[in-house]
Structure 1
Amino acid sequence: MKQQLNSRRAGLQWLGAAVLGAALPGLGHAQTQAAPARRLVSLSGALTEVVYLLNAQGLLVGTDTTSLFPEAAQKTPKVGYVRQLSAEGLLSLKPDSVIGTSEAGPAVVLDQIRQAGVRVSLVKAQHVWADVQEKVKVVGRETGKVGEATALLGRLDAQWLNVQAQVAKATRKPRVLFLLSHSGSPQVAGRGTAADALMRYAGCVNAIDQFDGYKPLTAEAMASAAPEVIINTTQGIEAMGGEAAFWKRPELALTPAYAKKALVTLEASHLLGFGPRLPSAVQALHMRTLQWVA
């Protein structure tokens, strides 16, 4: 009797592990790999871009509000801002897979989505090239397009190496400052931000290195930072009333950038998304900042 109970218990454990997708003795990874998504929600503009590059957009049933590129992504049902998600709204789209980054939240909402039986795959946001590589791999796996993702990654890696080689040849490192001004009071980007990583990749020196994250813009901060070039997003400049209105801010007059009105702008998801367009964003920032200090 005891032997029968043990056998029954082992059988149930095996079945439970199989249902949860756990690795089982004697089974290879390919046999336990979860099936590709049939209904996919993307919580990252960068991941959404990869979905379109892999021609898997037919699986998308929803995206977050940062998914602005390509233009077709703007027409997909929106689940809200990536950091302010609602489980009810997201689950109403009946996804079987949700992809995003570690910036998605709140955490309790993601837990509710998992508890509803939806697979959630998140890429840790570290603001390095490996982020882009992992995003391509995750989308390839979740859409069932692993081969296409591998080929795309090869092309992107080649682009990245070419851009980094171009940056390495520069003999000048412009002193720059990134201003975040989409809403509320403008803030400057310090260490540990996507903007800081981007500026460094582009061969620039971040004029703000006294703190981590974002802090409010002050006249004292601008004067001591002394940036030669100011970087913003096109959306940020629009929110401030346009470029002419931007330069009327009194604190900007305290910077070397003010004399030349040295401003570089790129669309937000291109500039800060750390997606497949990162090589072109770094190249554009590198070339345009150098032009201002030539």
Structure 2
Amino acid sequence: MRSAGISFAKSLACFSLLLTVITTQTALAEDETPRIISADLGTTQVLQALNLQDAIIAVDVTSVRQPELRGLPSIGYHRQLSPEGLLSIKADALVGAADMGPETAINALEKTGVQIIQQESPKTIDTLIENVRTLSTEFNHKEDGEKLINIIEEMRTTLANTSVKQKTAIFLLDMGGHGGANGSMAGQGTGGDAFLNLLGLENMAKFPAYREASRESLIALNPDVIVLASGGRPSKGPKLEDSEVIALTRAAKEKNIMGMNASTLVAGLSVAAMDEAIRVKTTLAKK
């Protein structure tokens, strides 16, 4: 009986030790930094805001513009991903927009056990918040997620509490910096349309997607405000105000041609885009 008791005690001690080891390993696994491929700039910016920058091991071409990420491997354009390239990176997760692909590349990665997270490119603040919450939950950074959501809500309140007298607007995308009537005008459902919604202005372009802004359309629409989106962050649209066509619009006559950084809308609404909207709307409110 005594020897049996000793044997039981030893077994219990061994079990306790094993349980401790398993618990410790589980805790380490939960705290382990994931290896994440970020397939669009919006996702990258959210991951950075969630203090997950060190987890990013590869990015798409839009995210490479970030100075702190230029040394990372590039996976190219998010709609033309290479299965071989993705597999060689040995990631734990691939995160990007719902339209990243092709499907064969996504499926190949998923079959190896890599987690695939595809999110809608946000056109509203609510969708942006939903994306933040999803990523903060998936990567166990809920506290950082709530902090970021609080910041977004504060920015939403600032925009809502800033009143402007202007009512109508158009959004011109001019990445080439040439201005004039050659820019692409943002129609319904675009990032430019979402930006005008942040400003509380009616987008006068009622067509879908982007279209080249013709002389006739600019004169006919005659908006209160023209937002010129370019690669930098000009305080006003370079060369656009000098256009004879633009000079005929109400926006030009009232000096309501506003510049903004187009890169903040590459993947839909972002915190940076909201910051731009606050800057533009605050300027308009003073007029």
Structure number, greater radius of gyration: 2
Q: Note if 1:263 corresponds to 2:257.
A: yes
2: distance between equivalents of 1:275 and 1:190?
19
Q: Note if 1:235 corresponds to 2:239.
A: no
Instruction: Tell me, yes or no, if the aligned pair for 2:232 and 2:261 is still in contact at 8 Å.
Output: no
Instruction: Tell me, yes or no, if the aligned pair for 1:196 and 1:206 is still in contact at 8 Å.
Output: yes
Say which of 162, 169, 176 aligns to 1:176.
169
1:40 to partner: Cα distance: 0.2
Say which of 49, 55, 75 aligns to 1:53.
49
Q: What amino acid does structure 2 have at the position aligned with 1:67?
A: S
Give TM-score scaled by structure 1 length.
0.73
Q: Which blocks of at least 5 consecutive residues in structure 1 are unaligned?
A: 1-33
Q: Note if 1:224 corresponds to 2:220.
A: yes
Q: Note if 1:41 corresponds to 2:37.
A: yes
1:171 to partner: Cα distance: 5.3
1:163 to partner: Cα distance: 1.8
SS at match of 2:226: strand
1:85-100 equivalent positions in 2, closer than 5 A: 85-100=81-96
Instruction: Tell me, yes or no, if the aligned pair for 1:228 and 1:256 is still in contact at 8 Å.
Output: yes
Give TM-score scaled by structure 2 length.
0.74
1:70-109 equivalent positions in 2, closer than 5 A: 71-109=67-105
1:166-197 CA-to-partner distances (Å, cap 9, x unmatched) read 13xx2523422111222696310011112112
Cα 1:85/1:163, change in 2 over 3 Å: farther
1:4-59 CA-to-partner distances (Å, cap 9, x unmatched) read xxxxxxxxxxxxxxxxxxxxxxxxxxxxxx99762101122222122222222111
Q: Which blocks of at least 5 consecutive residues in structure 2 are unaligned?
A: 1-29
Q: Which residue of 1 aligns with 2:14?
A: none
1:59-113 CA-to-partner distances (Å, cap 9, x unmatched) read 1111122226764134433222333433333333221201112243344433343
1: distance between equivalents of 2:212 and 2:108?
34
Higher mean displacement: 86-95 or 221-230: 86-95
Cα 1:222/1:99, change in 2 over 3 Å: same
Q: Which residue of 1 aligns with 2:198?
A: 201
1:206-257 CA-to-partner distances (Å, cap 9, x unmatched) read 1212x1111122111111111232212231799xxx9554445454344223
Tell me the matched-pair count: 252
Instruction: Tell me, yes or no, if the aligned pair for 1:233 and 1:271 is still in contact at 8 Å.
Output: no
Q: What amino acid does structure 1 have at the position aligned with 2:250?
A: P
Q: Note if 1:120 corresponds to 2:116.
A: yes
SS at match of 2:89: coil
Q: Note if 1:163 corresponds to 2:158.
A: yes
Q: Which residue of 2 aligns with 1:154?
A: 150
1:121 to partner: Cα distance: 0.5
SS at match of 1:105: coil
Q: Which residue of 2 aligns with 1:285?
A: 280
Q: What amino acid does structure 1 have at the position aligned with 2:186?
A: A
Instruction: Tell me, yes or no, if the aligned pair for 1:177 and 1:208 is still in contact at 8 Å.
Output: yes
Instruction: Tell me, yes or no, if the aligned pair for 1:39 and 1:97 is still in contact at 8 Å.
Output: yes
Say which of 269, 274, 294 aligns to 2:269.
274
1:124-177 CA-to-partner distances (Å, cap 9, x unmatched) read 2351112211221232134321232233323332332x224313xx25234221
2: distance between equivalents of 1:216 and 1:231?
15
SS at match of 1:208: coil
Q: Which residue of 2 aligns with 1:137?
A: 133
1: distance between equivalents of 2:32 and 2:270?
22
1:244-272 CA-to-partner distances (Å, cap 9, x unmatched) read 54445454344223345542222223356
